[in-house]
Amino acid sequence: MSRTDADVAIQGAGMVGLLLAAALARHGLRVMLLDNAGLPQWQTQPYSQRVCAINLASERLLRVLGVWDALQRVSPFRAIRVWDALGGGQIVFDAADLGEPHLGHIIENDLIRSVLHQSVRAATGVQIRIPACVQRLEPDDEAVTLRLSDGTRLRVALVVGADGARSAIRELLGIPVRLGRYAQKAIVAPIRTEIAHGEIARQWFLPGGPLAFLPLADGRCSIVWSLSSAEAEARLAFDETAFCEALVHGSAGRLGNVLEVGERGAFPLYRLHAARYCTERAVLVGDAAHVIHPLAGQGVNQGFQDAAVLANAVIDAQRRGRDIGGRLALRRYERARRGDNLLMEWSMEGFHQLFTRRRLPLVRLRSLGLGMTHRSASAKRFFMRRAIGADASILP
Ligand SMILES: Cc1cc2nc3c(=O)[nH]c(=O)nc-3n(C[C@H](O)[C@H](O)[C@H](O)COP(=O)(O)OP(=O)(O)OC[C@H]3O[C@@H](n4cnc5c(N)ncnc54)[C@H](O)[C@@H]3O)c2cc1C
């Protein structure tokens, strides 16, 4: 192979791009990490609006990379309670039924990025260029030539698009996407409730969309409330008292009164799937490849799996003396991840469709289904194993 400036260029220092960089650097690969925005500085106060439910499979990956213990503020949840507000059904998923101490942790996105960034910065062989992005890419038999926004030209064996839902790498590669708009927004904010969360994640399927209370380490909860865009805008305009009352109503007062709401943010919701994950010497991971509804909190967990499987394929190719940007390695990654990501996308779509229906026979049927699943230990174990990523990949 001709001389290259790095083995792999990763565009996007989000959670997924950083995890991939850390995984590759651990095996001595030379990585160039690019991002067109600065990296956030995690701070203890205020508690960030953006948090993620990190499942056991993702926890394992972060442990293998040696960064788990550096996460200074994580909040375990040992059960998930779900209510169908209209139909009256409910279901409880308990970690004890799987013999696990917890089902996952709620962690601030910026904290995950911050610890991964520190790990990547300390690794030999990683160069970080911020702000920078790829403006042109030209693959050939031996490498891909990248022209960056600062005018630099780089040659690398493989370029990875980890640059999120609006991926510029995907655009440059001309990969089309299948896009579905929910016409919904998710409101996020930290809240303080009268009754302690008790390390339980709660979700109510309300007629307007799901409302989740995720337990935070300081005793508060982080809400994710998906609503039609118009309803979301209306609730964002509520004063604090009216917003707290709406939350008490939505949560049927299960945690008593809502005493305080932090800064509210809102994110438009859609699903997206790239028609292909790879082309010649280029590959997509994380939200650049697929975006799902956040109702089950699985987006970044899926992205971390992409990163783990791609790292395995690249490291394996390198060990065997094969081309790390070659078709074989990239197709192996795509084959392993596409089906799983599609299954997750359609499961989320199914839940979304099922729980936004208001026709009485369907409402009765779904509540019956929830009740039956609740009473069936094996059905519950099936869903829980999927949610925690029990069969997920690990890093070499
Ligand atoms: C309300 C909400 C709640 C969610 N809750 C959960 C949850 O509980 N659990 C879960 O697993 N997932 C959750 N998700 C999904 C999760 O947030 C995403 O899947 C995850 O952030 C995607 O990470 P990423 O690194 O792929 O992309 P991003 O986080 O989008 O990172 C992309 C990076 O690329 C950079 N970039 C973008 N364009 C360019 C460019 N042209 N050039 C250079 N750099 C560029 C950006 O600056 C950024 O650093 C939630 C999503 C939403 C909206």
pLDDT in tens, 163-208: 999 999 999 999 999 999 999 999 999 999 999 999 999 999 999 9
169 located within any domain: yes
**What is the mean pLDDT of the segment spanning 36-52?**
90
If you measure from the C-alpha of residue 15 to the centroid of ligand 1, how many angstroms do you get, rounded to a whole number?
7
If you measure from the C-alpha of residue 287 to the centroid of ligand 1, how many angstroms do you get, rounded to a whole number?
6
**Per-residue model confidence (pLDDT) at position 65:** 97
If you measure from the C-alpha of residue 288 to the centroid of ligand 1, how many angstroms do you get, rounded to a whole number?
9
Pocket test for ligand 1, best of 41, 163, 285 (most atoms within 8 A of CB): 163
pLDDT digits (tens, 9 = 90+) for 334-359: 999 999 999 999 988 888 888 887 77
Using pLDDT thresholds of 50, 70 and 90, give the confidence band for residue 365.
confident
**What is the mean pLDDT of the segment spanning 244-273?**
97
**What is the mean pLDDT of the segment spanning 272-298?**
96
| Range(s) of the domain holding residue 314 | 6-74+110-179+271-359
298 located within any domain: yes
62 located within any domain: yes
Sequence-ordered list of residues with C-beta below 8 angstroms from that of 61, at least 6 positions apart, any chain: 19, 23, 304, 307, 308, 394, 395
Residue nearest to atom 50 of ligand 1 (CA): 294
Ligand 1 atom closest to the CA of 301, numbered from 1? 11
3-state helix, strand, coil in the chain (%, to 5): 40, 30, 30
Average pLDDT for the chain: 94
154 located within any domain: yes
Flag whether pLDDT at 50 surpasses 80.
yes
100 located within any domain: no
- Higher pLDDT: 156 or 1? It is 156
Residue nearest to atom 15 of ligand 1 (CA): 299
If you measure from the C-alpha of residue 52 to the centroid of ligand 1, how many angstroms do you get, rounded to a whole number?
10
If you measure from the C-alpha of residue 161 to the centroid of ligand 1, how many angstroms do you get, rounded to a whole number?
12
Residues with CB under 6 A from ligand 1: 11-17, 34-37, 52-53, 133, 162-164, 168, 186, 188, 224, 267, 286-287, 294, 297-301, 303
**Per-residue model confidence (pLDDT) at position 1:** 53
If you measure from the C-alpha of residue 49 to the centroid of ligand 1, how many angstroms do you get, rounded to a whole number?
14
d(CA 357, CA 207): 8
Ligand 1 atom closest to the CA of 224, numbered from 1? 1
223 located within any domain: no
Ligand 1 atom closest to the CA of 302, numbered from 1? 11
Report the share of the chain in percent with pLDDT over 70.
99
Helix (H) or strand (E) holding 10: strand 6-11
Report the share of the chain in percent with pLDDT over 90.
80
Sequence-ordered list of residues with C-beta below 8 angstroms from that of 241, at least 6 positions apart, any chain: none
199 located within any domain: no
**Contact in structure between 209 and 356 (CB atoms under 8 Å):** yes
pLDDT digits (tens, 9 = 90+) for 366-392: 888 888 887 888 888 888 888 888 878
Q: Which of 68, 52, 64 is nearest to 23 (CA)?
A: 64
Ligand 1 atom closest to the CA of 16, numbered from 1? 25
pLDDT digits (tens, 9 = 90+) for 303-344: 999 999 999 999 999 999 999 999 999 999 999 999 999 999
Neighbours of 4 (CB within 10 A): 20
Sequence-ordered list of residues with C-beta below 8 angstroms from that of 171, at least 6 positions apart, any chain: none
Residue nearest to atom 30 of ligand 1 (CA): 164
122 located within any domain: yes
What is the count of structural domains for the chain? 1
d(CA 288, CA 267): 17
Please compute, for residue 316, the number of CA atoms within 13 A of its CA located in the half-sphere on the CB side: 14
Q: Poorest-confidence range of 68-72, 97-101, 367-371? A: 367-371
Q: Which of 329, 333, 327 is nearest to 317 (CA)?
A: 329
Residue nearest to atom 14 of ligand 1 (CA): 299
Residue nearest to atom 1 of ligand 1 (CA): 186
CATH number at residue 141: 3.50.50.60
If you measure from the C-alpha of residue 291 to the centroid of ligand 1, how many angstroms do you get, rounded to a whole number?
9
Flag whether pLDDT at 58 surpasses 90.
yes
- Higher pLDDT: 241 or 377? It is 241
Please compute, for residue 363, the number of CA atoms within 13 A of its CA located in the half-sphere on the CB side: 14
Tokens, residue 284 = 């997509």
**Per-residue model confidence (pLDDT) at position 2:** 63
**Contact in structure between 135 and 147 (CB atoms under 8 Å):** yes
Burial code (b: 16+ CB inside 10 Å, e: under 16) for 51-81 equals: bbbbbbbbbbbbebbebbeebebbbebbbbb
